[in-house]
Amino acid sequence: MDITTQNPTSPPASRPSEVEQKRAARAATRPGDRVFLALSRGSGVFLLVLMAAIAGFLTYRSALALSENEANFFTTFEWNPTGNPPEFGIAVLAFGTVVSSIIAMAIAVPVAVGIALFITHYAPRRLAGPIAYVIDLLAAVPSIVYGLWGVLFLVPHMQGLYGWLDDYLGWTGIFEWQGGAPRSLFTAGVVLAIMILPIITNVSREVFRQVPQMHEEAALALGATRWEVIRMAVLPYGRSGVISASMLGLGRALGETMAVAMVLSPAFTINASLLDWGGGTFAQNIAAKFSEASVMGRDALIASGLVLFVITLLVNGTARMIVARRKEFSGANA
Amino acid sequence: MSHATLTDKRPGSLRGATLPKWFPWAVAAGSIALGIGISAAAGLRSSIQWGLIAAVLFVLGTYGIAGRVEGRRQAKDRVVTSLVWVAFLLAVIPLASLVYETVKRGVKVLDGYFLTHSMGVVADKDPGGGIYHAILGTLQQVGIATVIAVPIGVLTAIYLVEYGRGKLAKAVTFFVDVMTGIPSIVAGLFVLSTWILILGMGASGFAGALALTILMLPVVVRSTEEMLKLVPNELREASLALGVPKWRTILKVVVPTSIGGITTGVMLAIARITGETAPLLMLVWVTDFINANPFSDAQGSLPVYIYLQYSAGGEAAYDRAWAAALTLIAFIMILNLAARGIARWKAPKTGR
């Protein structure tokens, strides 16, 4: 230890330059070192190859399906890959995925930011720790359980809310309810919101916790109320973190399969009303149609999966770019 | 409530008028009573409406009274405080309900028999049967995925922390991050298009394990990377200064120092993939029988079992689905708690 503590005091001139370091490293490599470096670098390269392979093979299978497709892939409202000629498109799926994710985000983001603020700034000290811990654990509950709970417990309990929305907001057309079972995109969105709540909360909480104490104390010293502290010190500091947390949540909502597949009562239609059953999402459609699909049908589903892959890639990539600007935290472990 | 306004208004006092501590509770009680009164008088049936009216009254009441006594800034502060509390309660209700329902409905058929028998000869509508085949399948599939993902993941993390400089390391970091967000169904489709459609292999537990590997890898890399970064540089330098080769330094000094954190990360990753359903549904298919060979034919697994029992419908099947869900959650929670326990117990000692 003594040697290392003396190190910083030695003159910088004794430190080898980068070029020298490289040369020294090359000269000093032993067989063990070389093997180990190759192994670990190989693993890294393997990951890159894997990502490329995922994109490549999905594209290849999609191309097989799309070359047969007689209809426009992006604007067709039908899914009939076994027909003669095969016609299928993702318009309905894109609509359903976007709508359910928007509903999920609209509910989850404000609530999650609220809980994160609650844990970091409002809850009694003794409660804050355990609450954060429990929400951490809830992030690990598998989606199939959310789906089971959603369809067997939440769906019957949505009747009242549906009636209320229809009574008071039915005139907008968006919340018109014909009285069917409440297994619509709206319910799917609510289940998604509950699912992504823990992850958005966890990441936002981490960000809020990293707000410099000085900023908050300075605001308090100027006589700010707690809300003013949050508005002037906490939120501006944590904004990019909250945005990337939301995008991580969005990425999860877009790709969620089983919970949506169980809650939604699918039909290949686009409804003006969110409360009518029908619609579908990319992931849900793949899970629902897969078991009966022919080879052509599978390739068509792979094509829709490729679209989902690209969308989540863009969303997550953007979230990571925002996070990367602040190196101190990362949502990957949340 | 007007008597509350009489507190401390002496001129020259440094503090402005403040409302007593019980003020929010009083307003809450008042607005709930008023809300119930109004709803009952108007003959509204939905309890959601009652709650909504009470909530609106609460916010307005708080703002109005606090605004008159304490000033607008304090009033705003109080409103936000109540909104934050509302957000918290709003989130707690579904999450608590999820846990409560699963436990309540799950314990009905969960016993020793349930854990040690398969569904082999049990019709969907009949009671009885169990999840032995599903537990077996889940353990094997997750086990295989772990065996593949952990060495690759840890080595990648070692590369990133110990060797990684330049473009390659940056690319790996970025794509590991992006990979965390791959939907499980896309991972399933990838294995389907290569392993099954192109290589012509049949559905098996191993195919499912491959998809789980893809989902597990980035999580292992990320958490291991974080842990390796926590190892103090002095340890590496001391070892290198003694003439120990770099690879032995990494294996004998760096990794052992952070082994607790790495274990935690791996366990959390296992917990995450244990609940994956969609890829297994398309790669492992479904069976009610015990299949101890993960390399051929369909296998059961806990998440898929839940889905199957739900799809079968009927009271007996729903009971089994809940019981399996409870087993799955219990397994994941135990893994999580154990992982956190290890993390606390073996936290890297960064101080001297």
Q: How far is CA B155 from CA A48, A183, A334, B165, B215, in A?
A: 14, 46, 22, 15, 17
Contacts of B84 in chain A (CB under 8 A): 114, 117-118, 122
Q: What is the pLDDT, as a whole number, of residue A303?
A: 93
Question: Which residue bears the tokens 């001139």?
Answer: A13
Q: Report the share of chain A in percent with pLDDT over 90.
A: 39
Indicate whether B44 belongs to any domain.
yes
Do B171 and B306 belong together in one domain? yes
Predicted confidence band at B44 (pLDDT cuts at 50, 70, 90)?
A: low
Q: For the residues B155-163, what does the mean pLDDT come to? A: 93
Superfamily classification of domain A92-333:
MetI-like (1.10.3720.10)
Do B217 and B76 belong together in one domain? no
Q: For the residues B327-351, what does the mean pLDDT come to? A: 81
Do B201 and B247 belong together in one domain? yes
Domain containing residue B240: CATH number: 1.10.3720.10
What is this model's ipTM? 0.86
Per-residue pLDDT tens digits for A33-71:
889 999 999 999 999 999 999 999 999 999 988 888 888
- Domain enclosing residue B188, as ranges: 132-345
Structure tokens given for B186: 């896309």
Which segment of A173-187, A305-319, B128-142 scores lowest on mean pLDDT?
Answer: A173-187
Nearest CA among B340, B269, B301, B248 for reference residue B131: B301
Do B73 and B187 belong together in one domain? no
Per-residue pLDDT tens digits for A254-306:
999 999 999 998 888 888 888 888 888 999 999 988 888 888 888 999 999 99
Do B152 and B287 belong together in one domain? yes
CB pairs under 8 A between A and B: 292
Name the residue of chain A whose CA is nearest to B185's CA: A283
Which segment of A123-137, A181-195, B16-30 scores lowest on mean pLDDT?
Answer: B16-30
Q: What is the pLDDT, as a whole number, of residue A29?
A: 66
> At residue A19, does pLDDT exceed 70?
no
> At residue B190, does pLDDT exceed 90?
yes
**DSSP bridge pairs for A88:** A79
> At residue B18, does pLDDT exceed 90?
no
Name the residue of chain A whose CA is nearest to B330's CA: A141
**CB–CB of B217 and A41 under 8 A?**
no
Predicted confidence band at A22 (pLDDT cuts at 50, 70, 90)?
A: low
Query: CA–CA separation, A309 vs B12, rounded Å?
Result: 66
Q: Report the share of chain A in percent with pLDDT over 70.
A: 88
Query: Are the C-beta atoms of A234 and B84 separated by less than 8 Å?
Result: no
> At residue A14, does pLDDT exceed 70?
no
Per-residue pLDDT tens digits for B287-337:
888 888 999 888 999 999 999 999 998 889 999 999 999 999 999 999 988
Query: CA–CA separation, B126 vs B315, rounded Å?
Result: 9
Q: How many CA atoms lie within 13 A of B174 on its CB side?
A: 14
Q: What is the pLDDT, as a whole number, of residue A3?
A: 43
Indicate whether B119 belongs to any domain.
no
Do B205 and B79 belong together in one domain? no
Do B248 and B288 belong together in one domain? yes
In three-state form (DSSP H/G/I as H, E/B as E, the rest C), the secondary structure along chain A is CHHHHHHHHCCHHHCCCHHHHHHHHHHHCCHHHHHHHHHHHHHHHHHHHHHHHHHHHHHHHHHHHHHHCCCCCCCCCCEECCCCCCEECCHHHHHHHHHHHHHHHHHHHHHHHHHHHHHHHHCCHHHHHHHHHHHHHHCCCCHHHHHHHHHHHHHHHCHHHHHHHHHHHHHHCCCCCCCCCCCEHHHHHHHHHHHHHHHHHHHHHHHHHCCCHHHHHHHHHCCCCHHHHHHHHHHHHHHHHHHHHHHHHHHHHHHCCHHHHHHCCCECCCCCCCCCECECCHHHHHHHHHCCCCHHHHHHHHHHHHHHHHHHHHHHHHHHHHHHHCCCCCHHHC
Number of domains in chain B: 2
Q: What is the pLDDT, as a whole number, of residue A72?
A: 85
DSSP conformation letters of B68-96: HHH-HHHHHHHHHHHHHHHHHHHHHHHHH
Predicted confidence band at A160 (pLDDT cuts at 50, 70, 90)?
A: confident
**DSSP bridge pairs for B297:** B204
Do B174 and B292 belong together in one domain? yes
Name the residue of chain A whose CA is nearest to B272's CA: A140
Per-residue pLDDT tens digits for B76-111:
888 888 888 888 887 888 888 999 999 999 998 898
Do B157 and B284 belong together in one domain? yes
Tell me chain B's radius of gyration from C-alpha atoms. Answer: 29
Residue B272 sits at the chain A interface (C-beta within 8 Å)? yes
> At residue A129, does pLDDT exceed 60?
yes
Q: Which of A35, A134, A258, A314 to mutate to test binding with chain B, by most B CBs within 10 Å of its CB?
A: A258
Do B78 and B207 belong together in one domain? no
